[in-house]
Homo-oligomer: A and B are copies of this chain.
Amino acid sequence: MINIGILGCGRIGQVHARSLMRFDAARLVAVSDYFPESAKALASKTGAEVRETAAILTSDDIDAVIICTPTDTHFDIIQTAAKAGKAIFCEKPVDMSADRIRECMKTVETHDTKFFTAFNRRFDPNFANVQSRIAAGEIGDVEIVTILSRDPTPPPVSYIKSSGGIFRDMMIHDFDMARFLLGEEPVQVFAVGAALVDPEIGKAGDVDTAAVTLTTASGRICQISNSRRATYGYDQRIEVHGSQGMLRAENMLETTVEAATATGFQKSPALNFFLERYEAAYLNEIAHFVSAITEGTVLSPSIFDGLRAQIIADAATKSLDLGVPVAL
């Protein structure tokens, strides 16, 4: 049995609380939130107590914390929780700065903290299936990875300005996915991009349409493309071409219904947005966290994975600025 505290009772905190209901090996003991009513509402549905974040971090009856608070609070929480010996489930990004992630990594290593970076997409049943079949050798050696990732609509320009740019804010998920699928570390990144969706995004110094080429030491290639806007929903596809075959994961649609009329055969739009699209992934990552903690197995992705994705995002940003490939 593992006793858990959830820090941050917003949408994603609620999702994790609901997931915990499914596992006999986990007990949600306490929740906290900047807004007391949010914490209270979640507590009433689960029987958990409402506590202060600081109290949860140091409670003896808490084995692990799930960090769902704003990104700029992660650093301090991680330091405190690690020192208190808690296992940590941290929503991504760990931090916006690679250097600060490195510092967290040191703390985590020093205290031998069980640390989980919540790159939820690795737990999507479709993407996880692709990866496990690659690992099982089903398509031989990986040669070309293709990742198509598009958000339904761009965030407000105000958000864009403080987002760190498309590579750190959006494509970072795809960089982690690339590492997950390539089976080798990328050694070079080349990025192109433009503000095609909204010129205001361009004025804010960012792009909204971008494409990246990653290459590994042995010559494996990954092509990623991002757009901040897809009229047809949240577009999330991956494809891996290998020496013995190909695996691809298609979008999840709202329904399996197909309508046939004079204009053709029409299926539903893609699930929109991440809470729906990655609902199973959120459940599966909690399942992994709970079982890894209770059974003492390895947590993955680790804080190193969180760092590595950030480093690629930084390099892609530089490649776009300079117009040349950047070594990793």
Asked whether, in the complex, the Cβ of B263 is within 8 Å of the Cβ of A266, the reply is yes
Give, as a whole number of angstroms, the nearest-CB distance from A48 to chain B.
9
Asked whether, in the complex, the Cβ of B196 is within 8 Å of the Cβ of A215, the reply is no
Asked whether, in the complex, the Cβ of B219 is within 8 Å of the Cβ of A196, the reply is yes
Given contacts A18-B22, A144-B227, A221-B225, contact A258 B250 (CB under 8 A): yes
Residues of B within 8 Å of A196, CB to CB, are: 141, 143, 218-220, 243
What separation, in Å, do the CA atoms of A195 and B229 have in the docked complex?
A: 36
Q: Which one of B44, B133, B254, B264 lies within 8 Å of A253 (CB-CB)?
A: B264
Task: Say yes or no for A305: interface residue by CB 8 A criterion.
Answer: no
Binary contact readout A223-248 vs B (1 if CB under 8 angstroms, 0 otherwise): 10101011111010001010111111
Binds B, one of A64-72, A124-132, A164-172, A175-183: A124-132
Interface centre among A218, A244, A256 (most CB of B within 10 A): A256
Q: Which one of B213, B215, B241 lies within 8 Å of A227 (CB-CB)?
A: B241
Give, as a whole number of angstroms, the nearest-CB distance from A180 to chain B.
14
Task: Say yes or no for A115: interface residue by CB 8 A criterion.
Answer: no
Give, as a whole number of angstroms, the nearest-CB distance from A237 to chain B.
9
Task: Say yes or no for A139: interface residue by CB 8 A criterion.
Answer: yes
Given contacts A144-B211, A144-B225, A259-B138, contact A232 B264 (CB under 8 A): yes
Asked whether, in the complex, the Cβ of A267 is within 8 Å of the Cβ of B268, the reply is no
What separation, in Å, do the CA atoms of A165 and B266 have in the docked complex?
A: 33
Asked whether, in the complex, the Cβ of B225 is within 8 Å of the Cβ of A211, the reply is no
Give, as a whole number of angstroms, the nearest-CB distance from A16 to chain B.
13
Show 21 residue pairs from A and B whose CB-CB distance is below 8 angstroms, ordered by the A residue: A126-B257, A133-B257, A138-B259, A143-B196, A146-B148, A192-B213, A195-B219, A196-B219, A196-B243, A223-B225, A230-B260, A231-B261, A231-B262, A232-B265, A245-B262, A246-B259, A246-B261, A247-B260, A250-B257, A265-B266, A267-B267
Given contacts A143-B197, A197-B243, A248-B260, could you give 15 more A-B pairs where the C-beta distance is less than 8 Å? A18-B21, A143-B227, A192-B213, A192-B215, A223-B223, A232-B261, A235-B260, A245-B260, A250-B257, A253-B265, A263-B266, A264-B268, A265-B270, A323-B325, A324-B324
